[in-house]
Structures are given as C-alpha cells and as structure tokens.
Amino acid sequence: MQVVFLGLPGAGKGTQAANITEDFGIPHIATGDMFRSAIAAETALGKEVRGYLDAGLLVPDELTIRVVSDRLQASDAKQGFLLDGFPRTQPQAVALDRILADLERPLTHVLYLEVAEEELLRRLTGRRVCKQCGASYHSKFNPPHVDNVCDRCGGELSTRPDDEPQAVAVRLRENMQRTEELVSFYTARGLLAKIDGEQPIGHVYDEIRWILRGERV
Ligand code: AP5
Ligand code: MG
Ligand code: ZN
C-alpha cells in the first residue's frame, strides 16, 4: 500500500500517521520530520533547510524531491509507505509519479484531511511535540498522560519554532492554494479520499482504517 497524506499545517497528518504505521506496518515518511532531524543533527542538509523551516516557507522542490527519492529507495519502503507532507507542489507530485513508476509501486491511496483555517490555528497554537520521536500533542485537545512527557517514548515535549504566529501565517499562505491544486490533481486520478478532519482523533482514524481496508471509498 502506497499512501499519501494531504492536509494543511495542523490538519492532523502526524497524529494519524502514528496509528497507521502501527496497524498497517508501513514506514511513516514525513519530509518535515526528516528536515527537523537534519537540523537537530546539524548536517549539511540541516544547515541548508533551517531558514526555510523556521520561516514557514517551503524548501525548494529540487532539494525536497532528492531527499524523498533517496528515502524511497530504502528497503523498508519496498512493502509500501505513508508519505506525510510530500508532495506539496505540482512539480513534486509529477516527480513522485516518476519515482514510483521506476519502483513499480504506484500510489494506492491519497488521504485528504480537511480542516477549516480557524481550527488549524487553534491546533497549532497549542501543539507540543516530542523532541525525541516527534509525536504530536495538544495542551487541550490531546494532552500527554504526564505533563510535558511523551506517552510513546518518555521524551521531553517542546514547541516547534514554526508554530509561532508569524510562521504559522506564512505556512498557511504557502500551502493553501497548492493543497487545493493537489486535491484536484488526485481527484482527477480517482485516488483521493476526503476525510472530515475536524472530528475527534479516534473518529478520524476509524475512517482512515475503513478506507485503507477498502471498506469505504
Ligand atoms: P511539516 O512538518 O510537514 O509541517 P506542516 O505541513 O505544517 O504540518 P504539521 O506537522 O504542522 O501538521 P500535521 O498535519 O502533522 O498536524 P499534527 O498531527 O501535528 O513541514 C514543516 C516544514 O518543512 C514546512 O513548513 C517546510 O518548510 C518543510 N517541508 C516539509 N515538507 C515539504 C515539502 N514537501 N516541500 C517543501 N518543503 C517542505 O496535529 C496538529 C495539532 O492538532 C496537534 O497539537 C494535535 O495534537 C492536534 N490534533 C490533531 N488531530 C486533532 C483532532 N482530530 N482534533 C483535535 N486536535 C487534533
Ligand atoms: Mg506533521
Ligand atoms: Zn516521543
């Protein structure tokens, strides 16, 4: 199963991805997480992308496509994958088609989590993420069992630099039009499943599970 997760910043992609990878045994490939790890490890890639992430701007296509292409060659992606946050532009979508044609593993599902802008703002302002494993929490909507401690790995929680209001505004502006274009692109291909992302986390996941098991189209 080759799955793409589409959704604006804060739609719940990372939150839902954690359940999907556990239940369906496919790796979670999230460009944002890969870039943040590179920044934390101070690699050459990290130095190159840091300014874009902190400001909320998109990393240039060529670089992003190279990172994803390399990652999809890894052996764990041979049985399928969940791509979170890629593609985000039309050139990335076209490049993904080409990469997957070479691998002979075409996309099977594109899941679009639809959430209104006011709700995205509420979610991003209260978000806390695990420094160690990247799991997402929310001070009100999805708090960890123990204050400031990740339920999954015991890591410490922190606030993402790009969840500061100015960067949030840039991220929404950068992604709105492009996401709409990708929704049209994948609808035309008959791959898109639209999900009401404003439901409680468990309900959203129920729908995702139905779709991936072929019980809802
Ligand atoms: P990335 O890390 O992908 O950030 P994003 O797209 O802005 O998405 P988020 O991770 O913020 O949101 P999410 O949908 O994962 O929401 P979450 O589950 O955490 O990318 C970061 C940056 O990297 C980009 O800005 C860009 O610079 C660069 N980049 C990445 N990919 C790129 C690409 N392809 N091309 C170019 N540049 C790229 O949930 C959000 C909050 O809501 C949490 O607090 C959560 O607890 C809460 N929540 C989740 N679901 C619910 C629910 N159902 N009800 C209530 N609360 C909920
Ligand atoms: Mg995310
Ligand atoms: Zn963790």
Q: Which DSSP letter does residue 93 get?
A: H
Write out the two tokens for 217: 């189209």
Separation CA 85–CA 162 (nearest Å): 15
The per-residue pLDDT for range 95-143, each reduced to its tens digit, is 999 999 999 999 999 999 999 999 999 999 999 999 888 899 999 999 9
The sheet with strand 127-130 has its strands ordered as 136-138, 127-130, 157-158
% of the chain surpassing 70 pLDDT: 100
Q: What is the mean pLDDT of residues 147-161?
A: 95
**pLDDT band at residue 217 under the 50/70/90 scheme:** low
Q: Is the pLDDT of residue 6 over 60?
A: yes
Pocket probe mutation, ligand 1, options 99, 123, 125, max atoms within 8 Å of Cβ? 123
Separation CA 38–CA 66 (nearest Å): 14
The per-residue pLDDT for range 175-208, each reduced to its tens digit, is 999 999 999 999 999 999 999 999 999 999 999 9
Return all residues near 6 (Cβ < 8 A) that are at least 6 apart: 110, 111, 112, 113, 179, 182, 183, 186, 192
Parallel/antiparallel/unpaired status of strands 127-130 and 192-196: unpaired
Per the document, the length of the chain is 217
Does the beta carbon of 81 sit less than 6 angstroms from any atom of ligand 1? no
Does the beta carbon of 32 sit less than 6 angstroms from any atom of ligand 1? yes
Q: Which ligand is nearest to the CA of 151?
A: 3
Mean pLDDT computed over every residue of the chain: 95
Residues 23, 209: contact at Cβ < 8 Å?
A: yes
**pLDDT band at residue 51 under the 50/70/90 scheme:** very high
Q: Which ligand is nearest to the CA of 171?
A: 1
Q: What is the pLDDT of residue 134?
A: 86
Domain covering 2-112+169-212 in this structure, CATH number:
3.40.50.300
Write out the catalytic residue numbers. 13, 88, 127, 160, 171
Does the beta carbon of 28 sit less than 6 angstroms from any atom of ligand 1? no
